[in-house]
């Protein structure tokens, strides 16, 4: 079995330093100190100090002694005086810690001088494959597709930043039934002029028509069950009335493609580049790149070999005409070859595992995919283990469904959801509207090019942040106004912070490089400055917490908390007009470090910043 990856045992954050000290003290009172260090964390409430250790109560049970007595013993044994004030014991046995300002100032100076902002690279780098986005090409992308894309991208960037080797792979659906639909549509409905003028647009239309025709025929079969007939385009309706059982015909076209039929293969080769170029437009606007884009078609000719291997090893056997892998703990088998001889996505997923293990030797593979495929992945991983890949950590990073305004899942098939292009356009448009309102009151107006850039960065940032700031497990209701919100807990708030700090530099005519190279002497003159300092030192802890369970929303939450603290500080404390030159220097450094942490944190979420807003 693989060794479970504990991100929080890699670099020395403040928290890990405290835990390390406590571990030694814990060893003097019990023989399993590691079971308890996890109970040491940031204080829940500032009144209790900066960090707290909630270890005495559970220990009391184990040692059959009063918790306060154990807390006393731990406080006596723990060696913390260089970083903390004397610990205080409260309530049933909480141990409250308050960091010494001189130590905080010293750590802060280190972070400020460090291009990595005080986050040390992991000392046990591992190789991760992150499989995300993976849309079906040739099918219009809609709002449901951005979740996998932005979450996967953020996780890949975060893993890379903390020092792991990361390989991103976009496992495109480029070999499936949707091509059967397009081929079928092309053969029956194509308009050569329209196709020449704009291939991808025409192919999309063909897809939609065929899809609608199939849905319409199915609805008609189930007849009176639903009174409301599905929405249908006249072209699709004509097709549905002219050709019987389109679904079967589509599957036949798909089967011919897979069997190597020269006409269909030729059409597939012709369509694919246009389809790929089309989704690249989206990735370009989202500023997302992949190391590899090995789609299903890449694995197609390996599938017979996979199935043969499974059969030879006795892992797969025939049942009800299909070739199946039966797995312990599952009622239904994983089917790897249909009775008509065709392969399934299970088969190509196994082929993908084999390829990645052979060529990339990952320690961990993350599949950033909708939670509805949970059971599929459980089976896939179980099958991979019995197949021999039992030392790699295969993980389904599942996320919730994007629901329509009515609270029901979008129908991914019918295509009448909000398209992704439309969403991106709207995002930039809304950002531009706000920008123009705000800019009217500004002394130094921005030119058109600046405005366009800002609108793009702010609009796309809002969109990504709306997804990333939410716990990935929960379903969420899509709404333009929520996704494109530009105030409150949004990317805009964080981008605004960055822009404000740059504004200070401009106002003061400051050379930022000179500021950073100057001797750093922080002065935590007020409570709010101290609070900001502590927040800045927690960047690494936030990244640890993100990677503990692959939750980017923890980073978003951290950044928002930090920004709130910053804005309080900023409203309370004058930077350029500070009472003394030393305090002014300290505050400039606080602003600078905050801006750098925010910029870096946003970058890990795939979100950019601008100097002015």
Partner RNA sequence: GCCCUCGUAGCUCAGAUGGAUAGAGCAACGGAUUUCUAAUCCGUCGGUCGCAGGUUCGAGUCCUGCCGAGGGUGCCA
According to DSSP, residue 393 is labeled: E
Give CA–CA dist 451/284, Å, rounded: 19
CB 588 within 8 A of CB 575: yes
Whole-number minimum distance, CB 39 to RNA, in Å?
7
Beta partners for residue 477, in sequence order:
403
| Cα dihedral 420→426→432→436 (10° resolution) | -170
Beta partners for residue 127, in sequence order:
165
Whole-number minimum distance, CB 305 to RNA, in Å?
18
Whole-number minimum distance, CB 212 to RNA, in Å?
17
Whole-number minimum distance, CB 477 to RNA, in Å?
4
Whole-number minimum distance, CB 331 to RNA, in Å?
7
Q: Which of 317, 376, 301, 389 is nearest to 346 (CA)?
A: 376
Residue 244: CB atoms within 10 A of its CB come to 9
Whole-number minimum distance, CB 453 to RNA, in Å?
11
Q: Which of 61, 196 has the CB closer to RNA?
A: 61
Direct distance between the N- and C-terminal alpha carbons of the chain, in angstroms, rounded to an integer: 51
Q: Which of 37, 168 has the CB closer to RNA?
A: 37
Q: Which of 9, 120 has the CB closer to RNA?
A: 9
Q: Which of 130, 324 has the CB closer to RNA?
A: 324
| DSSP reduced 3-state for 468 | helix
Q: Which of 549, 579 has the CB closer to RNA?
A: 549
Token pair, residue 218, equals 């199915």
Whole-number minimum distance, CB 74 to RNA, in Å?
14
Q: Which of 130, 609 has the CB closer to RNA?
A: 609
Q: Which of 113, 503 has the CB closer to RNA?
A: 503
Whole-number minimum distance, CB 339 to RNA, in Å?
4
According to DSSP, residue 550 is labeled: T
Q: Which residue has the tokens 């750590």?
A: 107
What counts of helices (H) and strands (E) characterise the chain?
24, 13
Q: Which residue has the tokens 């004509």?
A: 238
Indicate the pairing of strand 127-131 with strand 364-370: parallel
Give CA–CA dist 468/453, Å, rounded: 22
Token pair, residue 246, equals 């389109």
Q: Which of 365, 583 has the CB closer to RNA?
A: 583
Whole-number minimum distance, CB 116 to RNA, in Å?
22
- Residue 461: phi and psi, rounded to 5, are -60, -40
Q: Which of 104, 455 has the CB closer to RNA?
A: 455
Q: Which residue has the tokens 């809609």?
A: 142
CB 179 within 8 A of CB 257: yes
Give CA–CA dist 90/96, Å, rounded: 7
């Amino acid at each position: 079995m693989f060794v479970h990856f504990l991100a929080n045992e890699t670099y020395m954050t403040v928290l890990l330093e405290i835990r390390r000290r406590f571990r030694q003290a814990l060893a003097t009172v019990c023989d399993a100190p590691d079971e308890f260090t996890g109970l040491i964390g940031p204080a829940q409430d500032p009144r209790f100090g900066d960090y707290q250790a909630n270890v005495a109560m559970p220990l009391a049970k184990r040692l059959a002694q009063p918790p306060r007595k154990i807390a006393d013993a731990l406080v006596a044994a723990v060696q913390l005086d260089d970083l903390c004030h004397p610990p205080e014991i409260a309530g049933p046995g909480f141990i409250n810690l308050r960091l010494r300002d001189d130590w905080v100032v010293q750590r802060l100076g280190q972070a400020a001088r460090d291009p990595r902002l005080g986050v040390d690279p992991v000392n046990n780098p591992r190789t991760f494959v992150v499989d995300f986005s993976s849309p079906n090409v040739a099918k219009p992308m809609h709002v449901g597709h951005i979740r996998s894309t932005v979450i996967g991208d953020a996780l890949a960037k975060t893993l890379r930043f903390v020092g792991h080797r990361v390989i991103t792979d976009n496992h495109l659906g480029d070999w499936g039934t949707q091509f059967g639909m397009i081929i079928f549509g092309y053969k029956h409905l194509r308009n050569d002029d329209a196709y020449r003028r704009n291939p991808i647009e025409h192919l999309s239309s063909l897809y939609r028509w065929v899809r609608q025709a199939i849905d319409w025929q199915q609805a008609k079969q189930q007849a009176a069950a639903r009174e409301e007939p599905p929405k249908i385009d006249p072209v699709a309706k004509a097709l549905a009335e002219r050709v019987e059982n389109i679904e079967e015909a589509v599957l036949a076209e798909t089967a011919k493609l897979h069997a190597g039929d020269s006409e269909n293969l030729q059409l597939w080769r012709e369509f694919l580049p246009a389809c790929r170029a089309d989704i690249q437009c989206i990735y370009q606007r989202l500023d997302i790149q992949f190391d590899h884009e090995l789609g299903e078609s890449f694995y197609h000719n390996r599938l017979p070999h996979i199935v043969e291997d499974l059969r030879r090893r006795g892992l797969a056997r025939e049942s009800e005409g299909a070739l199946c892998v039966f797995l312990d703990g599952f009622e239904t088998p994983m089917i790897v070859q249909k009775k008509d001889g065709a392969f399934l996505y299970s088969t190509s997923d196994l082929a993908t595992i084999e390829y990645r293990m052979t060529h990339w030797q990952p320690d961990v593979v993350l599949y950033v995919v909708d939670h509805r495929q949970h059971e599929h992945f459980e089976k896939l991983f179980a099958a991979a283990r019995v197949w021999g890949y039992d030392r790699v950590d295969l993980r389904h990073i599942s996320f919730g469904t994007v629901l329509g305004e009515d609270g029901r899942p979008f129908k991914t098939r019918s295509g009448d959801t909000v398209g992704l292009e439309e969403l991106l356009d709207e995002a930039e448009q809304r950002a531009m509207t706000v920008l123009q309102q705000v800019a009217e009151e500004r002394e130094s107006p921005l030119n058109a090019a600046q405005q366009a850039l800002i609108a793009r960065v702010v609009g796309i940032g809002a969109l990504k942040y709306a997804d990333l700031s939410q716990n990935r497990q929960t379903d969420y209701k899509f709404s333009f106004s929520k996704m494109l919100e530009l105030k409150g807990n949004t990317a805009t708030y964080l981008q605004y912070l960055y822009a404000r700090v740059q504004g200070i530099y401009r106002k003061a005519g400051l050379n930022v490089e000179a500021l950073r190279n100057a001797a750093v002497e922080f002065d935590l003159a007020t409570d709010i400055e101290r609070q900001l300092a502590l927040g800045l030192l927690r960047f690494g802890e936030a990244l640890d917490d993100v990677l503990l369970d692959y939750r980017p929303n923890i980073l978003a939450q951290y950044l928002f908390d930090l920004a709130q603290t910053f804005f309080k500080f900023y409203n309370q404390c004058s930077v350029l007009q500070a009472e003394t030159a030393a305090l002014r220097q300290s505050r400039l450094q606080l602003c600078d470090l905050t801006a750098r942490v925010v910029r870096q944190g946003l970058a890990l979420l795939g979100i950019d910043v601008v100097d002015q807003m």
